[in-house]
């Protein structure tokens, strides 16, 4: 299975094509729209979220609400293209040359040989993630048919960190910060407000869980098939993500082996199991039947209202980056996107192993696994 996206931030829309989705999956369009709405929500989001009202439109690959086995094309329209003519063929094509630190502007201009940063930023924009959320929700629904669930929450926003342990069943978000601890959520809102006053931005950290995945997905035989490598690469592909961990992650560097590795037990009724899950559900590049636990760090958004020092590429002279509308904090939205890309890559790994042209075949093969 493969997913590709297209579209620009201020074009007509963003799009995704899903190849290899089995026939027979009944799509819940309302669930896709709900995921898109979650992506737009969150304390600290910018003005554009009040303009867009994201809804998915299925263009192909589905009939009567059920997948056909052919490529699925989906679209999320951009309402903001009506007020911004940045991508219209008839617009004046005013160039953007004061490149923004931390963005794709300058390296993209040099790579693609353009003197206009807009040719880069329109595609590099996190608006592209709306298409990935829509596609990821389709993949999540296939995983759900196998009994595999995905949940996530915000561990940290700025200096506010939640160090509590949560069971999968406890991860039920009811906070506009994406945090589970309400006291932490209140402190995070205050820090976001302070950043807004200062014209600054905040990043944070997200934790993701996968429950119900059987052992043996991924492989130890080739590097590209390692499940942790695939999932971490998927999370790293999300805009502004700068760090990814599995299980204990970097904390393992300061511990002894006896404090890191999960001892194995066996009972006839439940088979092999572990009483701890420091490996985050992956050993030797393969799922081991325990919950998958992954974490990702999102850097602060580099578009600051007070502007950062830069260079005008048209003149080579010092300049201040343009202060355009932006989020103060998008970590809650990033959590939704990360769930979606995790669902997409995990769905691809599951189908790589199980194959099957129909959902019925996939479900049957999954049930037969030990």
pLDDT value for 48: 53
pLDDT value for 310: 96
Instruction: Output the pTM of the full model.
Output: 0.94
pLDDT value for 56: 96
**Residues in the chain, total:** 370
In this prediction, residue 315 has a pLDDT band, given cuts at 50, 70 and 90, of very high
Is the model more confident about 305 or about 55? Answer: 55
* Residue 83 pLDDT > 70: no
With a pLDDT cut of 90, the percent of the chain lying above it is: 88
In this prediction, residue 86 has a pLDDT band, given cuts at 50, 70 and 90, of low
**Is the CB of residue 120 less than 8 Å from the CB of residue 109?**
yes
pLDDT value for 306: 81
In this prediction, residue 120 has a pLDDT band, given cuts at 50, 70 and 90, of very high
Q: Specify the residue for token string 């092999």.
A: 272
Is the model more confident about 94 or about 300? Answer: 300
In this prediction, residue 46 has a pLDDT band, given cuts at 50, 70 and 90, of confident
Q: Give tens-digit pLDDT for 179-224.
A: 999 999 999 999 999 999 999 999 999 999 999 999 999 999 999 9
pLDDT value for 100: 93
Domains (range + CATH), the chain: 2-367 (3.60.150.10)
pLDDT value for 299: 98
pLDDT value for 49: 53
In this prediction, residue 317 has a pLDDT band, given cuts at 50, 70 and 90, of very high
Q: What are phi and psi of 207, to 5 degrees?
A: -115, 135
* Residue 85 pLDDT > 80: no
Average pLDDT, the chain: 94
With a pLDDT cut of 70, the percent of the chain lying above it is: 94
* CB atoms inside a 10 Å sphere around CB 30: 9
Q: Which of 59-73, 119-133, 315-329 has the lowest mean pLDDT?
A: 315-329
pLDDT value for 107: 98
Q: Is the dihedral of CA 21, 63, 148, 339 positive or negative?
A: positive
Adjacent-strand bridge partners of 6: 15
* Residue 17 pLDDT > 60: yes
Query: Mean of the pLDDT values across residues 151-157?
Result: 98
How far is residue 104's CA from residue 127's CA, in Å, rounded to a whole number?
14
Which H or E run includes 259? helix 257-260
How far is residue 150's CA from residue 144's CA, in Å, rounded to a whole number?
9
pLDDT value for 79: 80
In this prediction, residue 304 has a pLDDT band, given cuts at 50, 70 and 90, of confident
Which H or E run includes 344? helix 331-354
Of the candidates 213, 214, 216, 156, the one whose C-alpha atom is nearest the C-alpha of residue 180 is 156
pLDDT value for 229: 98
Q: Which of 114-118, 288-292, 301-305 has the lowest mean pLDDT?
A: 301-305
pLDDT value for 92: 58
């Amino acid at each position: 299975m493969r997913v590709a996206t297209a579209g620009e931030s201020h074009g007509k829309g963003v799009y995704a094509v899903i190849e290899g989705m089995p026939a027979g999956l009944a799509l819940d369009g309302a669930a896709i729209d709900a995921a898109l709405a979650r992506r737009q929500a969150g304390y600290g989001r910018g003005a554009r979220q009040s303009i867009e009202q994201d809804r998915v439109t299925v263009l192909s690959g589905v009939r009567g609400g059920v997948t056909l086995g052919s490529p699925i094309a989906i679209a999320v329209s951009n309402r903001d293209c009506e007020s911004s003519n940045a991508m219209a063929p008839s617009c004046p094509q005013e160039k953007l040359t004061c490149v923004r630190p931390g963005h794709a502007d300058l390296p993209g201009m040099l790579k693609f040989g353009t003197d206009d940063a807009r040719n880069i930023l329109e595609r590099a924009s996190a608006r592209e993630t709306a298409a990935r959320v829509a596609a990821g929700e389709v993949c999540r629904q296939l995983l759900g048919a196998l009994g595999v669930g995905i949940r996530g929450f915000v561990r940290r926003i700025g200096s506010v960190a939640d160090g509590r342990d949560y069971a999968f069943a406890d991860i039920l978000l009811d906070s506009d910060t994406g945090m589970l601890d309400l006291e932490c959520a209140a402190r995070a809102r205050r820090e976001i407000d302070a950043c807004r006053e200062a014209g600054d931005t905040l990043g944070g950290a997200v934790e993701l869980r996968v429950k119900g995945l059987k052992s043996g997905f991924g492989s130890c035989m080739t590097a590209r098939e390692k499940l942790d490598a695939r999932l971490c690469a998927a999370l790293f592909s999300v805009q502004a993500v700068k760090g990814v961990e599995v299980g204990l992650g970097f904390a393992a560097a300061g511990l002894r082996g006896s404090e890191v590795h999960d001892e194995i037990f066996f009972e006839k009724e439940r088979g092999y199991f572990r009483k701890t899950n420091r490996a985050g559900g992956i050993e030797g590049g393969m799922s081991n039947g325990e919950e998958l636990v992954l974490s990702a760090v999102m850097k602060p958004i580099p578009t600051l209202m007070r502007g950062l020092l830069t260079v005008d590429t048209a003149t080579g002279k010092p300049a201040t980056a343009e202060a355009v509308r932006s989020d103060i904090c998008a970590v809650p939205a990033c959590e939704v996107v990360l769930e979606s890309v995790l669902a997409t890559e995990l769905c691809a790994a599951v189908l790589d192993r199980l194959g099957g042209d129909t959902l019925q075949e996939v479900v049957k093969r999954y049930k037969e696994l030990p």
